């Protein structure tokens, strides 16, 4: 049954994933709130990125299912799913051409004002449209990547360590941006190994270790369960 009014548009039910015979995720279940930032935290190799990739089908779980607005994502066209759930990678990836070409990539006849509006939502002025990709700082490039996802009017953004390549100032700007996008009604899921960052921006957190959910709750509650002692 489709439940479009849910406060938790993304739900993960008992998702398991094996890679080369090794379990990466073991029956992970979680719900992600609309209008909030949820941090997926945990030590390296905990399965955080793999879980994120299962949400937009860049990875196919071996068991369990992922629901978007109550619908199993396997019943959706993957291209539509990925427009509804935009993904931002650890390293900003810009394609050939300038900022404008990147924002319009894969879209037919997207109006200029929509492209400029997405850029502004990502905290960059419309003048950036004329910039060439190599002229951007890493922080600006990451914002262009966020804008590129926003042009597609997503319901959710999933981000894999989006600030790990950035300096403190650029990190603070991206963090502000994510909180503001959540306030505007987007479901934001951020993978981070940085618990202080989770505390700064997330309303909820999910702690993974060795492919299992160890704790879920507020970032402070989750911190108390950090493997090897409180972080």
Partner 1 sequence: MTDASVIGVLLSLILVAVAFAVSMRFRLKLESDLAIATVRAIVQLSVVALVITFVFDHELLAIGVVLLMLGAASWTSARRLKGIPRGPQLATLAIASGAIVGLVVVFGTGVFDLEPRFVIPIAGMLIGNCMTAVSVAGVRVKEELTDKTLEVEARLALGVRARDALTPYIRRATTTALIPIIDTTKTVGLITLPGAFTGMLLGGATPAQAARVQLIVLFMLLGAVAIAGMTTTLLVTRMFVGPGERIVIPTER
**Residues within the interface to partner 1 (CB under 8 A):** 20, 56-60, 74, 78-83, 86-87, 89, 91, 93, 95-96, 105-106, 145, 148-149, 152
- If the CB atoms of residues 58 and 214 are measured against partner 1, the closer one turns out to be 58
β-strands 212-217, 204-209 pairing: antiparallel
Least distance between partner 1 and beta carbon 223 (Å): 30
- If the CB atoms of residues 26 and 53 are measured against partner 1, the closer one turns out to be 53
Short-list 169, 205, 217, CA closest to 46: 205
Determine the straight-line distance between the first and last CA of the chain, rounded to whole angstroms. Answer: 40
Least distance between partner 1 and beta carbon 5 (Å): 24
Least distance between partner 1 and beta carbon 34 (Å): 20
- If the CB atoms of residues 88 and 213 are measured against partner 1, the closer one turns out to be 88
170, two tokens: 């650029």
205, two tokens: 């957190």
CA distance 191 to 157: 11
- If the CB atoms of residues 42 and 92 are measured against partner 1, the closer one turns out to be 92
Residue 205: what are its φ and ψ, rounded to 5°?
Answer: -145, 155
Least distance between partner 1 and beta carbon 166 (Å): 17
């Amino acid at each position: 049954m489709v439940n479009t009014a849910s406060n938790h548009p993304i739900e993960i039910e008992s998702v398991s994933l094996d890679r080369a015979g090794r379990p990466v995720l073991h029956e992970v279940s979680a719900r992600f709130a609309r209008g909030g930032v949820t941090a997926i935290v945990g030590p390296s190799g905990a399965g955080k990125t793999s879980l994120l990739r299962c949400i937009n089908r860049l990875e196919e779980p071996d068991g369990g299912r992922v629901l978007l607005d109550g619908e199993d994502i396997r019943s959706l066209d993957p291209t539509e799913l990925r427009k509804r759930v935009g993904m931002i990678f650890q390293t900003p990836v810009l394609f050939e051409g300038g900022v404008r070409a990147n924002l319009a990539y894969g879209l037919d006849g997207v109006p200029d004002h929509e492209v400029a509006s997405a850029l502004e939502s990502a905290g960059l002025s419309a003048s950036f449209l004329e910039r060439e990709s190599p002229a951007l700082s890493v922080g600006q490039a990451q914002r262009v990547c966020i804008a590129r996802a926003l042009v597609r009017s997503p319901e959710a953004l999933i981000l894999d360590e989006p600030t790990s390549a950035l300096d403190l100032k650029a990190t603070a700007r991206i963090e502000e941006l994510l909180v503001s996008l959540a306030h505007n009604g987007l479901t934001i899921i951020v993978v981070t190994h940085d618990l202080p960052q989770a505390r700064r921006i997330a309303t909820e957190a999910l702690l993974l270790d060795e492919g299992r959910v160890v704790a879920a709750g507020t970032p402070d509650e989750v911190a108390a369960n950090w493997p090897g002692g409180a972080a």
